[in-house]
Structure 1
Amino acid sequence: MKSIQEVAETQTVWQKHIKAWDANDLDAIMESYTEESVMILNNLKLEGTKAIRNVFANLFKLFNDGNNKIEPAVVEGEVIYIIWNFKPRSENGKSYFGTDTFVVQHGIVKYQTIASELYNKYPVTGQN
Protein backbone atom coordinates (compact mmCIF):
# COMPACT_ATOMS: atom_id res chain seq x y z
CA MET A 1 0.00 0.00 0.00
CA LYS A 2 1.29 3.42 -0.96
CA SER A 3 1.47 6.10 1.69
CA ILE A 4 -0.50 9.30 1.30
CA GLN A 5 2.77 11.23 1.59
CA GLU A 6 4.38 9.19 -1.22
CA VAL A 7 1.45 9.79 -3.57
CA ALA A 8 1.35 13.50 -2.67
CA GLU A 9 5.09 13.85 -3.32
CA THR A 10 4.77 12.14 -6.69
CA GLN A 11 1.78 14.31 -7.60
CA THR A 12 3.75 17.45 -6.64
CA VAL A 13 6.67 16.43 -8.87
CA TRP A 14 4.24 15.78 -11.73
CA GLN A 15 2.51 19.15 -11.34
CA LYS A 16 5.87 20.93 -11.29
CA HIS A 17 7.05 18.95 -14.33
CA ILE A 18 3.97 19.59 -16.46
CA LYS A 19 3.93 23.29 -15.52
CA ALA A 20 7.58 23.59 -16.59
CA TRP A 21 6.83 21.59 -19.77
CA ASP A 22 3.93 23.88 -20.69
CA ALA A 23 6.15 26.95 -20.09
CA ASN A 24 9.15 25.52 -22.01
CA ASP A 25 11.15 26.18 -18.84
CA LEU A 26 14.24 24.00 -19.11
CA ASP A 27 15.72 25.09 -15.78
CA ALA A 28 12.48 24.37 -13.91
CA ILE A 29 12.07 20.95 -15.51
CA MET A 30 15.64 20.01 -14.57
CA GLU A 31 15.03 20.79 -10.88
CA SER A 32 13.48 17.31 -10.61
CA TYR A 33 16.53 15.47 -12.01
CA THR A 34 19.97 14.74 -10.54
CA GLU A 35 23.20 13.12 -11.69
CA GLU A 36 21.70 9.80 -10.56
CA SER A 37 18.61 10.20 -12.77
CA VAL A 38 18.27 7.78 -15.68
CA MET A 39 16.21 8.33 -18.83
CA ILE A 40 15.54 5.50 -21.25
CA LEU A 41 14.33 6.80 -24.58
CA ASN A 42 13.47 4.15 -27.19
CA ASN A 43 15.94 1.72 -25.55
CA LEU A 44 18.76 4.26 -25.33
CA LYS A 45 19.91 4.79 -21.74
CA LEU A 46 20.90 8.35 -20.78
CA GLU A 47 22.28 9.22 -17.36
CA GLY A 48 22.77 12.45 -15.47
CA THR A 49 21.66 16.02 -15.88
CA LYS A 50 23.75 16.94 -18.92
CA ALA A 51 22.30 14.18 -21.12
CA ILE A 52 18.75 14.65 -19.81
CA ARG A 53 18.93 18.43 -20.18
CA ASN A 54 20.01 17.99 -23.82
CA VAL A 55 17.01 15.73 -24.49
CA PHE A 56 14.56 18.23 -22.98
CA ALA A 57 16.12 21.14 -24.90
CA ASN A 58 15.54 19.16 -28.11
CA LEU A 59 12.05 18.06 -27.04
CA PHE A 60 11.03 21.69 -26.51
CA LYS A 61 12.21 22.57 -30.03
CA LEU A 62 10.42 19.60 -31.58
CA PHE A 63 7.13 19.93 -29.70
CA ASN A 64 6.96 23.69 -30.30
CA ASP A 65 6.54 22.88 -34.00
CA GLY A 66 3.27 21.01 -33.70
CA ASN A 67 0.29 20.13 -31.55
CA ASN A 68 0.62 17.78 -28.58
CA LYS A 69 -2.21 16.34 -26.51
CA ILE A 70 -1.27 14.77 -23.19
CA GLU A 71 -3.90 12.58 -21.57
CA PRO A 72 -4.42 12.94 -17.81
CA ALA A 73 -1.61 11.33 -15.84
CA VAL A 74 -2.05 8.15 -13.84
CA VAL A 75 -0.24 8.50 -10.51
CA GLU A 76 0.27 5.40 -8.37
CA GLY A 77 2.70 5.60 -5.47
CA GLU A 78 6.08 6.56 -6.94
CA VAL A 79 4.96 6.07 -10.55
CA ILE A 80 3.55 8.55 -13.07
CA TYR A 81 2.31 7.25 -16.43
CA ILE A 82 1.19 9.37 -19.38
CA ILE A 83 0.20 8.83 -22.98
CA TRP A 84 0.34 11.55 -25.59
CA ASN A 85 -0.25 12.23 -29.30
CA PHE A 86 1.86 14.71 -31.24
CA LYS A 87 1.10 16.12 -34.70
CA PRO A 88 4.08 17.88 -36.30
CA ARG A 89 3.00 20.86 -38.43
CA SER A 90 5.22 19.68 -41.27
CA GLU A 91 3.47 16.30 -41.65
CA ASN A 92 -0.07 17.30 -42.65
CA GLY A 93 -1.96 15.68 -39.79
CA LYS A 94 0.24 12.63 -39.13
CA SER A 95 0.05 11.75 -35.45
CA TYR A 96 2.67 10.06 -33.27
CA PHE A 97 1.60 8.17 -30.16
CA GLY A 98 3.95 8.01 -27.19
CA THR A 99 4.18 7.08 -23.54
CA ASP A 100 6.26 8.28 -20.62
CA THR A 101 6.73 6.62 -17.26
CA PHE A 102 8.38 8.40 -14.34
CA VAL A 103 9.58 6.83 -11.09
CA VAL A 104 9.82 9.49 -8.38
CA GLN A 105 11.81 8.94 -5.21
CA HIS A 106 12.25 11.62 -2.53
CA GLY A 107 11.00 14.37 -4.84
CA ILE A 108 13.38 13.48 -7.70
CA VAL A 109 12.72 11.71 -11.01
CA LYS A 110 14.94 8.69 -10.52
CA TYR A 111 13.89 6.96 -13.74
CA GLN A 112 11.99 8.10 -16.81
CA THR A 113 11.13 6.00 -19.82
CA ILE A 114 9.90 7.45 -23.11
CA ALA A 115 8.73 5.44 -26.10
CA SER A 116 7.53 6.69 -29.46
CA GLU A 117 8.21 6.19 -33.16
CA LEU A 118 8.42 9.99 -33.29
CA TYR A 119 12.03 9.86 -32.12
CA ASN A 120 13.04 7.52 -34.93
CA LYS A 121 12.21 10.31 -37.39
CA TYR A 122 13.14 13.24 -35.13
CA PRO A 123 16.10 12.22 -32.91
CA VAL A 124 16.34 14.22 -29.69
CA THR A 125 19.24 12.62 -27.83
CA GLY A 126 22.16 13.92 -29.87
CA GLN A 127 23.45 10.32 -29.83
CA ASN A 128 21.55 8.97 -32.85
Structure 2
Amino acid sequence: MSDKSLILTHEQIIQKTRRIAFEIYEHNFLEKEVILVGIYDEGYNFAKMLKTELKDIAPFETKLVGLKLDKAAPTQSEILLECSDSELKNKAIILIDDVSNTGKTMAYSLKPFLNIKVKKIETAVLV
Protein backbone atom coordinates (compact mmCIF):
# COMPACT_ATOMS: atom_id res chain seq x y z
CA MET A 1 0.00 0.00 0.00
CA SER A 2 1.43 3.39 -0.95
CA ASP A 3 1.60 6.37 1.36
CA LYS A 4 -0.55 9.09 -0.21
CA SER A 5 1.23 11.81 1.78
CA LEU A 6 4.63 10.83 0.34
CA ILE A 7 5.81 13.61 -1.96
CA LEU A 8 9.38 12.49 -2.67
CA THR A 9 11.20 9.21 -2.11
CA HIS A 10 14.46 9.16 -0.16
CA GLU A 11 16.40 8.81 -3.43
CA GLN A 12 14.59 11.80 -4.95
CA ILE A 13 15.33 13.92 -1.88
CA ILE A 14 19.05 13.07 -2.14
CA GLN A 15 19.07 13.84 -5.88
CA LYS A 16 17.25 17.18 -5.49
CA THR A 17 19.40 18.16 -2.51
CA ARG A 18 22.56 17.58 -4.51
CA ARG A 19 21.19 19.58 -7.48
CA ILE A 20 20.22 22.48 -5.21
CA ALA A 21 23.69 22.37 -3.63
CA PHE A 22 25.23 22.69 -7.11
CA GLU A 23 22.96 25.66 -7.85
CA ILE A 24 24.03 27.33 -4.60
CA TYR A 25 27.65 26.76 -5.57
CA GLU A 26 27.05 28.12 -9.10
CA HIS A 27 25.43 31.30 -7.72
CA ASN A 28 28.10 31.83 -5.05
CA PHE A 29 31.35 30.46 -6.47
CA LEU A 30 33.23 33.71 -5.76
CA GLU A 31 32.21 33.81 -2.08
CA LYS A 32 34.56 32.92 0.77
CA GLU A 33 31.67 31.98 3.06
CA VAL A 34 27.96 31.28 2.60
CA ILE A 35 25.51 31.31 5.50
CA LEU A 36 22.81 28.63 5.35
CA VAL A 37 19.81 29.71 7.45
CA GLY A 38 17.44 26.81 8.06
CA ILE A 39 13.89 27.44 9.27
CA TYR A 40 13.12 25.05 12.13
CA ASP A 41 12.32 22.20 12.15
CA GLU A 42 12.43 20.53 8.76
CA GLY A 43 14.00 23.48 6.94
CA TYR A 44 16.92 23.27 9.36
CA ASN A 45 17.25 19.54 8.65
CA PHE A 46 17.26 20.26 4.91
CA ALA A 47 19.90 22.97 5.49
CA LYS A 48 22.10 20.38 7.24
CA MET A 49 21.79 18.11 4.20
CA LEU A 50 22.76 21.00 1.91
CA LYS A 51 25.75 21.82 4.11
CA THR A 52 26.98 18.23 3.77
CA GLU A 53 26.60 18.32 -0.03
CA LEU A 54 28.30 21.72 -0.30
CA LYS A 55 31.24 20.47 1.74
CA ASP A 56 31.87 17.89 -1.02
CA ILE A 57 31.60 20.24 -4.01
CA ALA A 58 32.29 23.86 -3.01
CA PRO A 59 35.56 25.45 -1.90
CA PHE A 60 33.86 28.11 0.24
CA GLU A 61 33.06 27.75 3.93
CA THR A 62 29.45 27.20 4.95
CA LYS A 63 27.98 28.19 8.27
CA LEU A 64 24.69 26.69 9.44
CA VAL A 65 22.32 28.94 11.39
CA GLY A 66 18.88 28.09 12.71
CA LEU A 67 15.87 30.40 12.52
CA LYS A 68 12.88 29.93 14.82
CA LEU A 69 9.41 31.38 14.45
CA ASP A 70 5.84 30.29 15.10
CA LYS A 71 4.68 29.25 11.63
CA ALA A 72 1.05 29.32 12.74
CA ALA A 73 1.28 32.94 13.95
CA PRO A 74 4.38 34.53 12.38
CA THR A 75 3.17 38.11 12.88
CA GLN A 76 2.73 37.56 16.61
CA SER A 77 5.86 35.56 17.34
CA GLU A 78 9.43 36.58 17.87
CA ILE A 79 11.80 35.50 15.11
CA LEU A 80 15.06 34.21 16.53
CA LEU A 81 18.33 33.74 14.66
CA GLU A 82 20.98 31.54 16.25
CA CYS A 83 23.79 33.98 15.54
CA SER A 84 24.63 37.63 15.95
CA ASP A 85 23.90 40.27 13.32
CA SER A 86 27.62 40.90 12.88
CA GLU A 87 28.14 37.30 11.70
CA LEU A 88 25.75 37.98 8.80
CA LYS A 89 27.05 41.39 7.73
CA ASN A 90 28.19 41.48 4.09
CA LYS A 91 27.58 37.74 3.68
CA ALA A 92 25.66 35.69 1.13
CA ILE A 93 22.63 34.24 2.91
CA ILE A 94 20.62 31.23 1.76
CA LEU A 95 17.24 31.04 3.54
CA ILE A 96 16.13 27.39 3.56
CA ASP A 97 12.85 25.62 4.23
CA ASP A 98 11.54 22.19 3.32
CA VAL A 99 8.15 23.15 1.84
CA SER A 100 6.67 26.30 0.37
CA ASN A 101 2.95 26.60 -0.15
CA THR A 102 2.04 30.26 0.06
CA GLY A 103 5.51 31.67 0.78
CA LYS A 104 4.24 33.26 4.01
CA THR A 105 6.81 31.58 6.26
CA MET A 106 9.66 32.57 3.94
CA ALA A 107 8.41 36.16 3.78
CA TYR A 108 8.23 36.53 7.56
CA SER A 109 11.59 34.78 7.95
CA LEU A 110 13.21 37.63 6.03
CA LYS A 111 12.39 40.11 8.81
CA PRO A 112 15.64 39.70 10.81
CA PHE A 113 17.70 40.46 7.69
CA LEU A 114 15.99 43.78 6.92
CA ASN A 115 18.21 45.71 9.34
CA ILE A 116 21.45 43.93 8.45
CA LYS A 117 23.57 44.90 5.47
CA VAL A 118 23.88 41.47 3.87
CA LYS A 119 25.54 40.95 0.50
CA LYS A 120 22.60 38.99 -0.92
CA ILE A 121 19.77 36.70 0.10
CA GLU A 122 18.68 33.66 -1.88
CA THR A 123 16.14 30.99 -0.99
CA ALA A 124 16.23 27.21 -1.27
CA VAL A 125 13.12 25.07 -0.86
CA LEU A 126 12.89 21.32 -1.32
CA VAL A 127 9.19 21.10 -2.25
TM-score (norm. length: structure 2): 0.28
Higher strand share: 1
